[in-house]
Amino acid sequence: MKKPDLKLANLNELFPDNFSQEQVAKAKTVFLKELAYSSHKFYGGKIATMPKAGVYGFNWFNVWYTPGVSKISTTIRDDNDTSFELTNRGNFVAVVSDSTRVLGDGDCTPSGGLGVMEGKAFLMKYLGGVDGVALCVNSYNKEGKHDPDKIIDFVKMAEPSFGAVNLEDISQPNCYKVLDTLREECNIPVWHDDAQGTGSVTLAGLINALRVVGKDLKNVRIVYYGAGAANTTIARLIIQAGADPAKMIMFDTIGTLHLGRDDIQADPAFYRKWELCQKTNPDRVSDIEKAIAGADVLIAVSKPGPNTVKPEWIKKMAPKAIVFACANPVPEIYPYAAKEAGAHIVATGRGDFPNQVNNSLGFPGILKGALVVRAKKITDEMAIAAAYSMADFAQKKGINPDRIMPTMDETEVFAQEAADVAVQAVKDGVARIEKTWDEVFQKTLADIKEARDAMGLLMKEGFIREPDLALLEAAVKKAIDAVK
């Protein structure tokens, strides 16, 4: 085992050589959680507000504020669209959550989601050159229940300040109403990253996984384990991309979705699940053993594991089986266990395993593309365009069973996504302005470079302090002790 360094280049090497694969996997999870806690405490969070305009003398305050700023106010009053070029609105995203479905931790109270929402803003800036702000809201009504209308009203009131809204970690069924209402009633993109974002990156991974194994999307049998906002949207986008819904079976906490699920039909709030009941599983298969037998693909976005997905299920799948185990923070089955059971390709949501299928590969570029052309919404076609953009980028670099997705250090993937999404927005008639593919690509690359150069300078000059290596060493020790 090695001592940790700040790059965290190979986490596996931090733990004793006699640790099993399962022990290493568990230790990494504990290590990352402990280091997250100590590092967030060290920095006091991870986002700050900084001016991007200069102060060259005292009178510049009269330019940036009163009396000069009056010209900005009256110009925007007369034409609201000028707010996108005279303020930061054109590059500003609200990351909105009521924190009722935070990763694998459930309802964390409104402020409990701040760490995740700050993380979203952090990634937006570094990966996409987009500014974001975390806004965790209290959605309780007088009866003490979470009310989707409170989130809807909040976003509508905040809309004039932002170029786009990223919804995050809102539990179902409220998430369906919130997204679908705001998509239609707001004049800026409102995007639910747990739904459309997860759907887009999963579709991207599936496209390349099928390329590797030589199977056609329209012919494969797919089993979905979990029927929340993520998997229901994944299924919807995969169907739109050409898969046959009659070859799909989806499991929720009660059983499978099909036309006999009167409980889902009776609750209007679950209309997205009922849509899938009408399209999938025509034979009303109810047993996981029967559903998984001969299946080509298993997409699990359900309860954190391990052993939520059983190895014996995977053994029943078709040759060259594809398994997506995307629960956070621990996948439903560890990749080594899925491979031992016969899976040919295994993907998870984590970057410390091969084939990371994670929203961070999608939302920075997708939102950037929408912002550059001042889109009024993000259509499903734009999400699908992003999926093919990611898949094609990875394919050009070379794909294999352990590499079906781009990685976050491949900067150009975000610029390519932004350009492909922007072009699709123009095609879909939701863009306020038109830009060429190359204009969006170059603008995105320049903004990403500026964001990274600024961060690098702050780190070099010590304005972003280096954490003490003792924090890392303490986290390693806690991880080892927890697993022994």
Amino acid at 441: F
- Residue 10 confidence class, pLDDT cut points 50, 70, 90: confident
The verdict on residue 105 lying in a domain is yes
Angle between helices 437-460 and 114-128 (to 10 degrees): 110
The verdict on residue 160 lying in a domain is yes
Task: Single out the catalytic residue among 28, 120, 125, 443.
Answer: 120
- Residue 368 confidence class, pLDDT cut points 50, 70, 90: very high
Task: Single out the catalytic residue among 65, 71, 396, 449.
Answer: 65
The verdict on residue 366 lying in a domain is no
Asked whether the predicted pLDDT for residue 149 surpasses 80, the reply is: yes
d(CA 250, CA 285): 10
**Mean pLDDT of all residues in 148-169:** 97
- Residue 104 confidence class, pLDDT cut points 50, 70, 90: confident
| 142 labelled catalytic | no
CB 96 within 8 A of CB 155: yes
Torsion sign across C-alpha atoms 394, 400, 403, 405: positive
Q: Is 287 exposed, middle or buried (0-12, 13-18, 19+ CB in 10 A)?
A: exposed
pLDDT of residue 56: 97
How many Cβ atoms are within 10 Å of 75's Cβ, its own excluded? 14
The verdict on residue 93 lying in a domain is yes
Task: Domain count for the chain, please give it.
Answer: 1
d(CA 340, CA 337): 5
Angle between helices 363-372 and 380-397 (to 10 degrees): 120
Q: Is 161 exposed, middle or buried (0-12, 13-18, 19+ CB in 10 A)?
A: middle
Torsion sign across C-alpha atoms 132, 136, 141, 147: positive
What share of the chain has pLDDT > 90, as a percent? 94
- Residue 235 confidence class, pLDDT cut points 50, 70, 90: very high
pLDDT of residue 406: 96
| 334 labelled catalytic | no
The verdict on residue 120 lying in a domain is yes
The verdict on residue 125 lying in a domain is yes
The verdict on residue 159 lying in a domain is yes
Asked whether the predicted pLDDT for residue 35 surpasses 80, the reply is: yes
Provide DSSP, 284-346.
----HHHHHTT-SEEEE-SS--SSSS-HHHHHTSPTTEEEEE--SSS-SS-HHHHHHTTEEEE
Helices (H), 186-318: 198-213, 229-240, 262-265, 271-279, 288-292, 311-315
- Residue 484 confidence class, pLDDT cut points 50, 70, 90: confident
pLDDT of residue 278: 98
Average pLDDT for the chain: 96
The verdict on residue 123 lying in a domain is yes
Classified as helix, coil or strand, 468 is coil
pLDDT digits (tens, 9 = 90+) for 52-70: 999 999 999 999 999 999 9
pLDDT of residue 329: 84
Helix (H) or strand (E) holding 373: none
pLDDT digits (tens, 9 = 90+) for 38-47: 999 999 999 9
Which CATH number covers residue 154? 3.40.50.10380
What share of the chain has pLDDT > 70, as a percent? 100
What is the span of the domain harbouring residue 129? 60-188
**Mean pLDDT of all residues in 144-173:** 96
**Mean pLDDT of all residues in 326-350:** 94
pLDDT of residue 145: 93
